[in-house]
C-alpha cells in the first residue's frame, strides 16, 4: 500500500525519489496546490521553469493511448529527473497511470485531483500500487492546523508561541489559500527573525466584533455584568449577529464545563484560553458548578431556537442580550454565596 499517512508525509514531500507517481486528492484545493509545489521544488530544485524537466499535460492529452507513458519515459536534455504534471485528475487516468508507472523512465508523474471517493478507480489503484504515493489533502483542524501554522511561519523565518498558534488555528479557518495569505501578513508584521505571541496574533487577524463578544462572555460568567453589557454593546455595534452571540455563549459555557469536569483545570482546553481572558475564566471556574453550567447551556440552546424562529431583529437582539445577562446575574449570585 502506498497511502501516505501523516507520519510519512513530510519525508515524501521532501524526497519522492522512491515513487514513480504521486496522487494528491481532497477537498482542500489550496493544500493540494501547496503540496504539489513542494514536490516540484523537491525534484526540480531551481529548475522549476525548465521546459525540458517539467511537462504539463491536460487530462485529455494524458488519456490518449500511450501518451502519458511516453511522456514519463522521455529523458531531460539538460539532465536530472523530470516531472510530468497533470491537474484535475479523474478516474479516466487510472488506466494511463497504470501503464506509465509500469513502463520505462524515471520521471515523477504528479497528479492533482479534487475529492475522490474511496471507490474511485484512480484512488483505489494509487493506494494499492507501491510505486505510487497517494496523499489525501483534507482540511486540517485543531492541533494539526496549529502545527501547520507553526511550520508555515517557520518557512517565513518567523517563530510562534504554542498558545498563539492554537489561537490562530481557532480563528483563521481551514481554507489553505486564505490561511497562507494570513500567514504572510503575520510574518510581514513581526518581520523575519521575529516571534509571534498572542498580542501580535490578535493585532493581525482578530475581528473586533469577535473580540468584543469574547470579552462580554468572559465578563458575564465571571459575574461582571457592567463590563459584559458594555462589551456586548460593542460587539453588536461591530456587526455581531444575535444567533452568533448565543452560539458563542453556548461554546463558552461548554468550555467552562469541560474545564470544570477536569477538576477546574483550564489547561485541558484546546485551543487554550486566550491570555487576556485567563483571569476572568479562572474566576468563572471557581464560581460555577457542573449542574449550573448544564442548566445554563440548556437555557442558551432554547434561546438560540427561539432566535432562529423570530422574524424581527430587535427581538433576536433582545433574546441574545437576555442570554448573556442571565449568565452575568447567575454568576453574581453564585459569588455572593
Name the strands in the sheet holding 21-25, side by side, starting at the edge strand that comes first in the sequence: 54-57, 83-89, 108-113, 21-25, 132-136
- Which residue is it, cell 453589557? 229
- Which residue is it, cell 459555557? 253
Q: Is residue 163 helix, strand or coil?
A: helix
How high is the pLDDT of residue 46? Answer: 80
How high is the pLDDT of residue 276? Answer: 76
How high is the pLDDT of residue 1? Answer: 46
Decide the pairing of beta strands 54-57 and 21-25. Answer: unpaired
For 185, other C-beta atoms within 10 Å of its C-beta total: 11
How high is the pLDDT of residue 209? Answer: 52
d(CA 283, CA 76): 67
d(CA 107, CA 69): 10
Query: Which of 179, 190, 199, 86 has the alpha carbon at shortest distance from 139?
Result: 179
pLDDT, tens digit, 9 for 90 and up, residues 53-110? 999 999 999 999 999 999 999 888 778 899 999 998 999 999 999 999 998 888 999 9
Q: Given CATH 1.10.8.60, say whether it is the number of domain 142-205.
A: yes
To the nearest whole number, what is the mean pLDDT of the chain?
Answer: 85
How high is the pLDDT of residue 206? Answer: 56
How high is the pLDDT of residue 207? Answer: 53
How high is the pLDDT of residue 127? Answer: 92
Domain ranges of the chain: 6-136, 142-205, 208-336
d(CA 194, CA 58): 42
- Cell numbers for 208: 473586533
Q: Given CATH 3.40.50.150, say whether it is the number of domain 208-336.
A: no
Query: Which of 208, 209, 191 has the alpha carbon at shortest distance from 200?
Result: 191
Query: Which of 75, 3, 84 has the alpha carbon at shortest distance from 36?
Result: 84
How high is the pLDDT of residue 310? Answer: 65
pLDDT, tens digit, 9 for 90 and up, residues 275-288? 778 888 888 888 88
pTM passes above 0.85: no
- How would you write the pLDDT of the chain (337 residues) with one tens digit per residue? 467 877 788 889 999 998 999 999 988 888 898 899 999 999 998 878 888 899 999 999 999 999 999 999 988 877 889 999 999 899 999 999 999 999 888 899 999 998 888 899 999 999 999 999 999 988 777 778 888 888 889 988 999 988 888 878 877 766 777 788 888 888 888 888 889 887 787 777 655 556 677 888 888 888 888 888 888 887 787 777 888 888 888 888 898 898 888 887 888 787 777 777 888 888 888 888 888 899 888 888 888 888 777 656 667 888 888 888 888 888 888 887 7
Q: Given CATH 3.40.50.300, say whether it is the number of domain 6-136.
A: yes
Amino acid at each position: 500500500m502506498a497511502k501516505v499517512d501523516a507520519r510519512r508525509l513530510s519525508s515524501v514531500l521532501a524526497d519522492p525519489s522512491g515513487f514513480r507517481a504521486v496522487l494528491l486528492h481532497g477537498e482542500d484545493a489550496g493544500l493540494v496546490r501547496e503540496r504539489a509545489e513542494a514536490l516540484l521544488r523537491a525534484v526540480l530544485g531551481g529548475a522549476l521553469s525548465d521546459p525540458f524537466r517539467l511537462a504539463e499535460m491536460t487530462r485529455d492529452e494524458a488519456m490518449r493511448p500511450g501518451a502519458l507513458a511516453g511522456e514519463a519515459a522521455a529523458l531531460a536534455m539538460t539532465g536530472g529527473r523530470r516531472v510530468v504534471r497533470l491537474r484535475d485528475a479523474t478516474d479516466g487516468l487510472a488506466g494511463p497511470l497504470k501503464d506509465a508507472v509500469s513502463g520505462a523512465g524515471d520521471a515523477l508523474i504528479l497528479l492533482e485531483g479534487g475529492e475522490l471517493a474511496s471507490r474511485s478507480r484512480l484512488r483505489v489503484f494509487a493506494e494499492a500500487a507501491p510505486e505510487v504515493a497517494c496523499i489525501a489533502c483534507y482540511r486540517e483542524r485543531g492541533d494539526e492546523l496549529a502545527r501547520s501554522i507553526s511550520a508555515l511561519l517557520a518557512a517565513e523565518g518567523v517563530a510562534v508561541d504554542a498558545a498563539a498558534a492554537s489561537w490562530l488555528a481557532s480563528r483563521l479557518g481551514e481554507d489553505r489559500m486564505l490561511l497562507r495569505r494570513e500567514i504572510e501578513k503575520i510574518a510581514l508584521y513581526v518581520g523575519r527573525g521575529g516571534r509571534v505571541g498572542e498580542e501580535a496574533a490578535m493585532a493581525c487577524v482578530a475581528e473586533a466584533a469577535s473580540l468584543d463578544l469574547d470579552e462580554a462572555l468572559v465578563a458575564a460568567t465571571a459575574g461582571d455584568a457592567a463590563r459584559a453589557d458594555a462589551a456586548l454593546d460593542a460587539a453588536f455595534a461591530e456587526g455581531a449577529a444575535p444567533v452568533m452571540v448565543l452560539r458563542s455563549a453556548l461554546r463558552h459555557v461548554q468550555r467552562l464545563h469541560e474545564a470544570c469536569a477536569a477538576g477546574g483545570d483550564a489547561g485541558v482546553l484546546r485551543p487554550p484560553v486566550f491570555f487576556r481572558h485567563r483571569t476572568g475564566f479562572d474566576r468563572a471556574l471557581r464560581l460555577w458548578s457542573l449542574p449550573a453550567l448544564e442548566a445554563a447551556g440548556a437555557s442558551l440552546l432554547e434561546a438560540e431556537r427561539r432566535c432562529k424562529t423570530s422574524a424581527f431583529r430587535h427581538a433576536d437582539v433582545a433574546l441574545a442580550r437576555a442570554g448573556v445577562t442571565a449568565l452575568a446575574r447567575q454568576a453574581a449570585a453564585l459569588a455572593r454565596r
